[in-house]
Amino acid sequence: MSIADNIAAVRARIEAAARRAGRSAADVALMGVTKTHGPERIRKAHAAGLRLFGENRVQEFAAKAGALADLAAAEWHMVGHLQTNKAAKAVELFSAVDSLDSLKLAEKLDAAARALGKKLPVLIEINLGGEEAKSGLALDSRELEEILLAAPRFEALEFRGLMTVPPFTDNPEDARLYFRKLRQLRHAIAARQLPAIRMDALSMGMSHDFEVAIEEGSTCVRVGTAIFGERPRV
């Protein structure tokens, strides 16, 4: 199957999952996660109509951004853990950071975005499985609360919602509980009507579990393997 075929197949599955959940597929954005894949393959996805892309490492994207700069209307989001010393570079390269996971990072991103006169949409990453190897804030953490309350001070950041990468399990149904938890957290935060906090976006669901995520309210699925094939092991 070609990349265009894969995208068509993923879109059909998004449609079906949305229909099952009584939702409109138009409310679920498809992000192609392009880490490890070269510009050639990414261009094929763009030619097939994909416009939203995610990368997880600043350095890797910096190396290929030049070869992709001419792709019309393409939008690049950072979806991986971002070290604070790479915040400024990330703000230069990406149009959004979907993996904000610390107060310190919010400070650095805000300062960098101000310096560039840019508004930077961000999602707060939540670690629902309590896995130490994964980034993201625990849903009951003090730091999450600190970020939510500090939001008005970060004038260059636009807080738009939440993101999560649940623990991997073979059965996608096992992820349902995590996706539901993220939706409930979004609801709880939205209900507080905090200044400078919008909670429209729920970025959740990857190649093996995006249909379950859509059934649980995902507004953006981040799909790598099902579009671009297996990644080379590094």
Which residues in this chain contact ligand PLP in the complex, by CB under 6 A? 33, 35, 56, 79-80, 165, 206-207, 222-226
Torsion of the alpha carbons at 8, 207, 89 and 156, rounded to the nearest 10: 80
CB nearer to ligand PLP: give 78 or 156. Answer: 78
Q: Is 45 helix (H, G, I), strand (E, B) or coil?
A: helix
Q: How far is the CB of 16 from ligand PLP (least distance, A)?
A: 18
**Alpha carbon of residue 46 to chain centroid:** 18
Least spacing, CB of residue 33 vs ligand PLP, in Å = 4
Query: Kindly report the CA angle at 92 between 45 and 144, in degrees rounded to 5?
Result: 95
- Is residue 143 within 8 A of residue 103, CB to CB? The reply is yes
For residue 223, the minimal CB distance to ligand PLP (Å) is 5
Nearest approach in angstroms of CB 230 to ligand PLP is 8
Query: Which one, 60 or 158, has the nearer CB to ligand PLP?
Result: 60
CB of 44 to ligand PLP, least distance (A): 16
Q: Shortest Cβ contact with ligand PLP: which residue?
A: 224
Residue number with CB closer to ligand PLP (99 or 217): 99
Q: Is 123 helix (H, G, I), strand (E, B) or coil?
A: strand
Tokens of 212: 């379950």
Residue 156 or 162: which CB sits closer to ligand PLP? 162
Distance in angstroms (rounded) separating the CA atoms of residues 159 and 120: 9
Question: Which C-beta is closer to ligand PLP: that of 209 or that of 215?
Answer: 209
Shorter beta-carbon distance to ligand PLP: residue 108 or 222: 222
Pairing mode, strands 197-203 and 157-164: parallel
CB 33 within 8 A of CB 56: yes
Say how many CA atoms lie within 13 Å of 44 toward its Cβ: 15
Closest distance to ligand PLP from the beta carbon of 39 (Å): 18
Please enumerate in sequence order all residues whose Cβ is within 8 A of that of 1, keeping only pairs 6 or more positions apart, or say none.
9
**Minimum distance, C-beta of residue 113 to ligand PLP, in the bound complex (Å):** 21
Our CB check for ligand PLP shows the closer of 40 and 230 to be 230
AA letter at 2: S
